[in-house]
Amino acid sequence: MEFVQLLKSHRSIRKFTDEPLTDEMVNEIISAGLAAATSSNLQGTTVIRVRNPETRAAIAELAGGQTYVETAGAFFVWCADLHRSAEVCERNGGEFSAGMTEHMIIATTDCAIAAQSAVAAAESLGLGICYIGGIRNDPAKVTELLELPKQVFPVFGLCLGWPDQDPAIKPRLPLSVTLKEDRYDETGDEAGVADYDAKMREYYLERTGGKLDRTWSADMEKLLGKESRPHMQGYLNGQGFATK
């Protein structure tokens, strides 16, 4: 159960030592990621390792000032990619059926599954990781910086490196809420969330010496009670995704 325990103790790392990652290690980690399951063998993932310091600085800034994008041992942008397979389809005499929402779902889930398999590999080696959803603050700029063709979109970034901090594990909703049997039965969910709110309040208070008094419910109000990245649909459609 050693590895299960490791996965259960995941936390994001946002501060890294200067110790470099060898290319061999990076290749092993990315290979482990891309060996994960892929829908119909599409392999709808392209990983772009960003080495150029200016590009990393630009991405750190557009992601909302996440400086660890610049300082992590390695930084990657994980892309959902239908471009490669569409080209192959056409070279083989087919006509790519562009814009299917289903194709976007398979490429996006392929990409997330591969990334998390790479993350599991990295964490098993003692590395720390942080996903960077903030790249979707300005996906058009990321597309320009990385010269992404149509049918490719940047799903998230990923920082990888040797941890230089040891943050607490953030509690999760109880399984009684998130794991259901046979049907979406909401009995007990409200009570489960109330318990979780109490736990999260304690977590934040402890972590900030009493300064931060927050609950999950309040966080969800902030997160979902307003528009979020309203440019995404237009951006994705413009890249050729999910137009039908």
Q: Is-contact 134 63, C-beta < 8 A? A: yes
Shortest distance, position 112 Cβ to its own copies, whole Å: 4
Query: Measured from the CB atom, is 17 or 64 closer to its own copies?
Result: 64
Shortest distance, position 40 Cβ to its own copies, whole Å: 5
Distances in Å between the Cα of 236 and the Cα atoms of 47, 75, 116, 219, 226 are 18, 23, 23, 27, 20
Shortest distance, position 109 Cβ to its own copies, whole Å: 4
Helix or strand (DSSP H, E) at 56: helix 53-62
Query: Measured from the CB atom, is 71 or 79 closer to its own copies?
Result: 79
Query: Measured from the CB atom, is 55 or 71 closer to its own copies?
Result: 55
Query: Measured from the CB atom, is 66 or 103 closer to its own copies?
Result: 103
Is 101 exposed, middle or buried, given 0-12, 13-18 or 19+ CB atoms closer than 10 A? exposed
d(CA 177, CA 158): 29
Shortest distance, position 61 Cβ to its own copies, whole Å: 17
